[in-house]
Amino acid sequence: MSIDKVRAFLEPFGKADKIQEFQVSSATVELAALAVGVEGARICKTLAFQHKDGSCILICAAGDGKVSNKGFKEFFGFKAKMMAHDQTAEMCGHAVGGVCPFALPDSVQVYCDESLLRFETVFPAAGSSNSAVEMTPQELYDISGAKAWVKVCDLPAAE
């Protein structure tokens, strides 16, 4: 089970016992926000994209961020193409709804979007569609082994 792999992965970082499991789904930003009890923007969504070489790129972004095709192409040098659900599960070992930047195959590259940096803590999934773990954006970056901070997401205009 994916959550068990994530728990084992997070153990050396002192985060395994911080995983929250819910009786309800946390598979979307909206559902996760309700389950955790925070604003949706603090949910760290992990999006899977196909690299031009066929490998998987994961981008961790704030729940209210929307990947900008222009920003993605400027950073990565090719057009953003999200992976299909079955391909995501096959490539990163986590099913959509529980995709997270932990306990991944070595071929998966993780990037963290700067949209996360405006929060003290964020809540990425923990390998299942009813889990989350609270950590600072820097902990997320360090623990996930992210390659870089990127700016590929647009945020909603301030009201």
* Tens-place pLDDT, residues 95-139: 999 999 999 999 999 999 999 999 999 999 999 999 999 999 999
Number of domains in the chain: 1
The predicted model scores a pTM of 0.94
- pLDDT bin (cut points 50, 70, 90) of residue 1 is low
Dihedral Cα 35, 82, 141, 70, nearest 10 deg:
-120
Q: Look at residue 20 and tell me if it is in a domain.
A: yes
Which CATH number covers residue 65? 3.90.960.10
With beta carbons less than 8 A apart as the criterion, state whether 107 and 145 touch: no
Where residue 103 falls (left for φ over 0; alpha for ψ -120 to 50; beta otherwise) is left
Domain of 117, in residue numbers:
2-151
pLDDT the model gives residue 2? 87
Q: Look at residue 156 and tell me if it is in a domain.
A: no
Q: Look at residue 33 and tell me if it is in a domain.
A: yes
Q: Look at residue 67 and tell me if it is in a domain.
A: yes
Q: Look at residue 36 and tell me if it is in a domain.
A: yes
Taken in order 85, 135, 67, 108, is the CA torsion positive or negative?
Answer: negative
With beta carbons less than 8 A apart as the criterion, state whether 38 and 144 touch: no
Q: Look at residue 158 and tell me if it is in a domain.
A: no
